[in-house]
Amino acid sequence: MTRTARVRRRLPATMTEQAAIDRAFMRQALDFGARGQGTTSTNPCVGAIVTQDTADGPVIVARGHTQPGGRPHGEANAFDRAGPNAAAGGTLYVTLEPCSHRTIRAATPCVERSILAGVKRVVAAMADPNPRFRGLGFALLRTAGISVTTGVLEAKAQRIHRGYVLRVTQGRPMVTFKVARTRDGYAGGAAGTRIAVSCPAASAWVHLQRAHYDAIMLGIGSVLVDDPLLTVRLPGMAGRSPIRIVLDSQLRLPLSSQLVATVGEVPVWVVATEAAPIERERALVAAGVEVMRVSAGADGHLDLTEMLQLLGARGINRVFSEGGPTIGEKLALAGFADEVIVSTSPKVLGHPGIVAVRPGLAAMLANPDLYRLADSGLIGHDHFENFVRTA
């Protein structure tokens, strides 16, 4: 052996070093997979990275993520990109337990793909939340002689896959409520006037968030005041505009609204109660809107539990609710606001308007038993706080 070769031969990583290497590659797998957030439902946005050990340490030979529409899966996409034999003897980093069962679409399960690819080790962030399959993928891999490490960056994976987990375990999507407020706390002017709260950079960031959800949801109160479009208006990203959903117990959505006018470009679903007039439904349906009915709650408005179950049954994993403040507080009080994003602008309204964070929600956000502040910081001139529901 030459002197150079002796110097370059790497010793096996210690357990601590290996754990750090695993976290570093898993972070990349999670970030890579999350790019597809909002495009993969009903499937989760799984990220996968295949590495090979070299004299210079482990290197990435392929990356993959769940493709639009949910297939191929992230692991399959990574193996496809790696090409023949490139993954043999390597390590697969994957953000969710590899699937072990054939679906009706009859693709080879990712456990089988991993065995066929010849990987020697699989590192996963979390188990499959589906009680029917949970742990089965890991067990099959181990039976095939593949070393399996689980729980690497699990908290981050649980947050990224929360919509999928909630739909599989509770039948409802994950909901993020986002609201922008002035420095004096208002989301809108008094008596039904729309105000531009956010700065351009913050507005662009909101559009980027829209692109990472399956649906944008708004109360009819906001729609009547704002006549919003609720599309993704960023260069090259118009195709990432999610379904637009209006919570509208009485079917008050105007036929002249921008939502209805653009229904041919991006779908609009309206959820009403059984009591809403049938002739309004007929008119909206004729215009291309999809109307769904759920029961009325005790307050006469939509039953939010039933509404979210309906969206879950329609395969929606993630909902971005841009309000308004009434809907936001109702979602939170019912335990459905899984994440809450509050942006605060330096602008001042200067007179009483529509309070952005209503008292019930404010009390919940201040309660560490219910929410934790996960991220905060400036985007442009506006200060963002992102709360995550802990209970």
Ligand X SMILES: Nc1c(N[C@@H]2O[C@H](COP(=O)(O)O)[C@@H](O)[C@H]2O)[nH]c(=O)[nH]c1=O
Ligand Y SMILES: NC(=O)C1=CN([C@@H]2O[C@H](COP(=O)(O)OP(=O)(O)OC[C@H]3O[C@@H](n4cnc5c(N)ncnc54)[C@H](OP(=O)(O)O)[C@@H]3O)[C@@H](O)[C@H]2O)C=CC1
Considering only residues 177 to 196 of the shown chain, the ones binding ligand Y according to CB under 6 A are 179-180, 187-188, 192, 194
Q: Does 73 bind Zn ion (CB under 5 A)?
A: yes
**Residue 233 annotated as binding site:** yes
How many helices and strands (H and E) does the chain possess?
14, 16
Query: Where do we find the tokens 């899966």?
Result: 73
Spatial distance between the Cα atoms of 320 and 232, rounded to a whole number of angstroms: 12
Distance in angstroms (rounded) separating the CA atoms of residues 48 and 347: 43
CA distance 94 to 84: 19
Decide whether 173 or 323 has the Cβ nearer to ligand X. 323
C-alpha dihedral (96, 38, 329, 181), degrees to nearest 10: 120
Interface with ligand Y: number of residues (CB under 6 A): 31
Structure tokens, 64: 């993959």
Q: Would you count residue 156 as binding Zn ion (CB under 5 A)?
A: no
Residues 103 to 122: which contact Zn ion by CB under 5 A? 110
| Site for ligand Y contains 304 (CB under 6 A) | yes
**How many C-beta neighbours within 10 Å does residue 174 have?**
27
CB nearer to ligand X: pick between 115 and 230: 230
Element spanning 10, H or E: none
Partner whose binding site includes residue 229, from Zn ion, ligand Y, ligand X, none (CB under 5 to 8 Å by kind): ligand X
H/E element, 6: helix 3-8
From the list ligand X, Zn ion, ligand Y, none, partner contacted by residue 99 (C-beta under 5 to 8 A by kind): Zn ion
Interface with ligand Y by CB under 6 A: which range of 82-90, 142-150, 249-257, 284-292? 249-257
User: Is 221 a residue that touches ligand Y (CB under 6 A)?
Assistant: yes
Of the candidate spans 10-18, 76-84, 152-160, 318-326, the one that interacts with ligand Y by CB under 6 A turns out to be: 318-326
Question: In the bound complex, what is the minimum distance in angstroms from residue 294's beta carbon to ligand Y?
Answer: 9
Q: How are beta strands 290-294 and 121-124 bridged, if at all? A: unpaired
Nearer to ligand X, 138 or 320 (CB): 320
Q: Which is nearer to ligand X, 44 or 323 (CB)?
A: 323
Place of tokens 């956000």: 365
Picked from Zn ion, ligand X, ligand Y, none, the partner binding residue 113 (CB below 5 to 8 A depending on kind) is: none
Contact 129, 164 (CB under 8 A): yes
Rounded to the nearest 5 percent, the helix, strand and coil shares of the chain are: 35, 25, 45
- Of 31 and 227, the one with the shorter C-beta distance to ligand Y is 227
Binding to ligand Y by residue 324, rule CB under 6 A?
A: yes
**Given 17, 75, 112, 281, the catalytic residue:** 75
What is the rounded CA–CA span in Å between residue 151 and residue 189? 47
Among residues 99, 197, 259, 364, the one that binds Zn ion under rule CB under 5 A: 99
Of 6 and 351, CB closest to ligand Y? 351
Tell me which of ligand X, Zn ion, ligand Y, none is bound by residue 248, counting a contact when its beta carbon lies within the kind-specific cut-off of 5 to 8 angstroms.
ligand Y
User: Interface with ligand Y includes 172 (CB under 6 A)?
Assistant: no
Burial of 200 (0-12, 13-18, 19+ CB in 10 A): exposed
* C-beta pairs of 226-230 under 8 Å, 24+ apart in sequence: 226/194, 227/257, 227/258, 227/259, 228/258, 228/259, 228/322, 229/258, 229/259, 229/262, 230/259, 230/266, 230/322
73 in a labelled binding site: yes
Work out how close the CB of 77 gets to ligand Y at its nearest, in angstroms, rounded to a whole number: 36
Residue 45 assigned ligand-binding role: no
* Whether 385 is catalytic: no
> Residues forming the annotated binding site?
73, 99, 110, 180, 210, 226, 230, 233, 249, 322
> Residues forming the annotated binding site for NADP(+)?
180, 226, 249
Residues that bind ligand Y (CB under 6 A): 179-180, 187-188, 192, 194, 197, 218-222, 225-226, 247-250, 252, 297, 301-302, 304, 322-327, 330, 354
> Residues forming the annotated binding site for Zn(2+)?
73, 99, 110
Query: Active-site residue numbers?
Result: 75
